[in-house]
Homo-oligomer: A and B are copies of this chain.
Amino acid sequence: MNRAQLVSEIKRKGSYLCVGLDTDLNKIPDHLKGDKDGMLKFNEAIIQATADLCVAYKPNLAFYEQYGEKGWGILKETIQMIPDTCMVIADAKRGDIGNTASYYAKAVFNDLGADAITVAPYMGKDAITPFLEFEDKWTIVLGLTSNPGAADFQYHGDTPLYEKVIRKCAEWGSPEQLMYVVGATRPDDLANIRAMVPDHFFLVPGVGAQGGSLSAVSKAALTLDAGLLVNSSRGILYAGESEDFATDSRKAAFVLQQEMKSLLS
């Protein structure tokens, strides 16, 4: 999915919602816990209930890799269920160099069939550019994250490290192929980052469970093309516990989509 398609879907759906498919067998409804295909059935129900309300799904690979080959297979089947109107972001936070990075890109773009991958910047340019060589695919670099540990290293230096990372990566990847992860928990920094890179999309975790506010995030960084994908995971996935859990998930997604629709207009 290229940028024009993404922006078109955002406008058509009135939504810049990304649903985080962090499916946890300990948290899915009881009737699926004992089912050997429970994880896949859960994902299928979530996707069917929310695909018209969001523009992206973001499975975090760790949730699947913990089950080895079987988990990888479930993830691949899940991605195949996602309609073309939604971007698939493999939240992999990979960070390796040269050929090795290309192999991660192949794993995620070719084998899994994702549109985008999250990438860690610590190793520098040779850990970022191999991903950018894949046409119509997206590289989403960790900029300023939403977790408490972000304070340990991302603010290091007179010019904070995250600022250097964001400026440098903008030299390597255009707004057609590169995005940033910027946490919702720091709206002031979000506004500063928007000023640094006015045209790049931001993938924003941390709304909901982690305390970030959709309106504050949007006020700080929404652009004419939206320029934002705001992620919600737990708040949508685990909204209900009954056999009809997907209806509750849809309601939770609908609340966010309605707010986004009004913020977009």
A91 CA / B104 CA spacing, docked (Å): 12
Do the beta carbons of B62 and A68 come within 8 Å of each other?
Answer: no
Q: Is A63 a contact partner of B142 (Cβ separation < 8 A)? A: no
Chain-B contact segment, one of A2-10, A157-165, A252-260: A157-165
Q: Say whether A95 contacts B98, CB under 8 Å.
A: no
Contact across chains for B147 and A65 when beta carbons are under 8 A apart = no
Residues 129 to 157 of chain A near chain B (Cβ within 8 Å): 142, 145, 147-154, 156-157
Cβ–Cβ contact B104 & A65, under 8 A: yes
Give residues of chain A (34-56) contacting chain B, Cβ–Cβ below 8 Å: none
Q: Mark A112-130, 1 if CB is under 8 A from B, else 0.
A: 1000000011111111100
A111 at the interface (CB under 8 A from B): yes
Number of interface residues, chain A, beta carbon within 8 A: 59
- A161 — nearest CB in chain B belongs to which residue? B156
Closest Cβ–Cβ distance, residue A107 to chain B (whole Å): 4
Nearest residue (CB) in B for A106 is B66
- Interface contact A164-B158, CB-CB below 8 Å: no
Q: Which residues of B contact A152 (CB under 8 A)?
A: 121, 124-125, 168
Report the stretch among A69-77, A184-192, A219-227, A239-247 that lies at the interface: A69-77
Query: Roughly how many angstroms separate A98 CA and B161 CA in the complex, as a whole number?
Result: 22
Query: Are A120 and B97 closer than 8 Å at their CB atoms?
Result: no
On chain B, the residues within 8 Å of A121 by CB distance are: 122, 152-153
A interface residues with partner B (beta carbon < 8 Å): 22, 24, 60, 62-63, 65-73, 76, 91, 93-101, 103-104, 106-107, 110-112, 120-128, 142, 145, 147-154, 156-159, 161, 164-165, 168
Show 28 residue pairs from A and B whose CB-CB distance is below 8 angstroms, ordered by the A residue.
Answer: A22-B100, A62-B94, A62-B103, A66-B103, A66-B107, A66-B111, A67-B111, A68-B76, A68-B111, A69-B70, A69-B73, A93-B94, A93-B95, A93-B96, A95-B95, A95-B142, A97-B145, A97-B149, A120-B120, A120-B123, A121-B122, A122-B153, A123-B145, A124-B152, A124-B154, A153-B165, A156-B157, A158-B158
